[in-house]
Chains A and B, each alone.
Chain A
Amino acid sequence: QQPVQSPQAVILREGEDAVINCSSSKALYSVHWYRQKHGEAPVFLMILLKGGEQKGHEKISASFNEKKQQSSLYLTASQLSYSGTYFCGTAAGGTSYGKLTFGQGTILTVHP
C-alpha cells in the first residue's frame, strides 16, 4: 500500500522552514527520500534504515520513527533550489533494493 505524504503542497519564502511527513500502514525496513524538479529525473536525498537514526544532508535532514512507521523530512532555511516535488519511498525488507513503494509526492515551492 502506498505511503501517505503530507502536506500535498507547501509554499515558502526563502529562509523559511518546512516539514514533510511520510506515513505507512506497513512495518518498514527503510525510508528513502527523493526530490524531482519539473521535467527532470528524481534525485536521491537520503535513506533512513530501521533504527531511528536521523540523517542530514546540508540543511535537509530526516528522521524515521519505526514504531509509528513514519518519517519526516526537515528543510531548514529554504533556498530557491529546494523547489520541486519530494517523494518518500518505503521498503519492507532489507533485500528489497529499489523495490520501493512511493508516496504521491509533496510539491514544495520556494519564492524569493
Chain B
Amino acid sequence: DGGITQSPKYLFRKEGQNVTLSCEQNLNHDAMYWYRQDPGQGLRLIYYSQIVNDFQKGDIAEGYSVSREKKESFPLTVTSAQKNPTAFYLCASSIGLEREYTGELFFGEGSRLTVL
C-alpha cells in the first residue's frame, strides 16, 4: 500500500543533542513538507520541498534543517538551536506542479519528540 512512513514514532532527547526524524513516501509525490503540531496551535510549516535537491523555509524554520536527496525521502533534523523542540512532528506529501493538483496533503502518522 502506498503511503508515508515516519520514524521513530516516539523519541526522547537530551538538551543539546541533535535528532533526525525520518520521512519516506512511496506515493511518487513531488512535494514534501514538515509540520509541527503543538496543543491548541494547529499545524505550523517548518520546511517544504517541491522537487529533489531543493527546499524552502516555512514559517518556523529556525533550529531545523532538512535535505531532499531522493524523491522518496525528506528527513528533518531538530538541532540544539531549536529552543522548544518538544512537539508532535508531521510529514506530508502532495502531487507537484507537473500533474493535476487536487489540494490533498497525505500525512504520515507523526513523530512525538520529547526533550528531557
User: Chain B 46-68 against A: per-residue CB contact (8 Å), 1 yes, 0 no?
Assistant: 00101000000011000000000
| Chain A interface size range | 20 to 34
Is B109 a contact of A102 with CB atoms below 8 Å? no
In the complex, identify which listed stretch (B69-77, B79-87, B94-102) lies at the interface while the others stay far away.
Answer: B94-102
Known: A40-B109, A42-B107, A104-B41. A99 touches B48 (CB 8 A): yes
B92, CB-defined interface residue at 8 Å: yes
B96 to chain A, nearest CB (A): 7
Q: Complex: how many Å from CA A105 to CA B41?
A: 7
On whether the beta carbons of A104 and B42 are closer than 8 Å, the reply is yes
Q: How far is the CA of A105 from the CA of B106 in the complex (A)?
A: 18
Contact at B104–A44, with CB atoms within 8 Å?
yes
Q: How many A-B residue pairs have CB under 8 A?
A: 62
Which residues on B sit within 8 Å (CB–CB) of A30? 103
Chain B CB within 10 Å, residue with most, of A34, A43, A98: A98
Query: Would you call A100 and B45 a contact (CB within 8 A)?
Result: yes
CB atoms of B44 and A98 under 8 A apart:
no
Collect the chain A residues with CB atoms within 8 Å of residue B90's CB: 41-42
CB contacts (< 8 Å) of B48 on chain A: these are 97-99
A111 to B107, CA, bound (A): 27
Over the window 77-108 of chain A, the binary record of Cβ atoms lying under 8 Å from chain B Cβ atoms (1 yes, 0 no) is 00000000001010000010111111111000
B42: contacting residue among A40, A98, A105, CB under 8 A:
A105
Across the A-B interface, the 8 shortest Cβ-Cβ residue pairs: A47-B103, A41-B107, A102-B42, A44-B104, A102-B43, A98-B105, A104-B42, A98-B94
Residues of B with Cβ closer than 8 Å to A?
A: 31, 33, 35, 40-45, 48, 50, 58-59, 90, 92-94, 96-97, 101-110
A residues lining the B interface (CB < 8 Å): 2, 30, 32, 34, 40-44, 46-47, 49, 87, 89, 95, 97-105
Known: A32-B105, A97-B31. 16 other contacts (CB 8 A): A2-B42, A41-B90, A41-B109, A41-B110, A43-B107, A44-B104, A44-B105, A47-B104, A97-B96, A98-B48, A99-B33, A99-B48, A99-B58, A100-B45, A100-B105, A102-B43
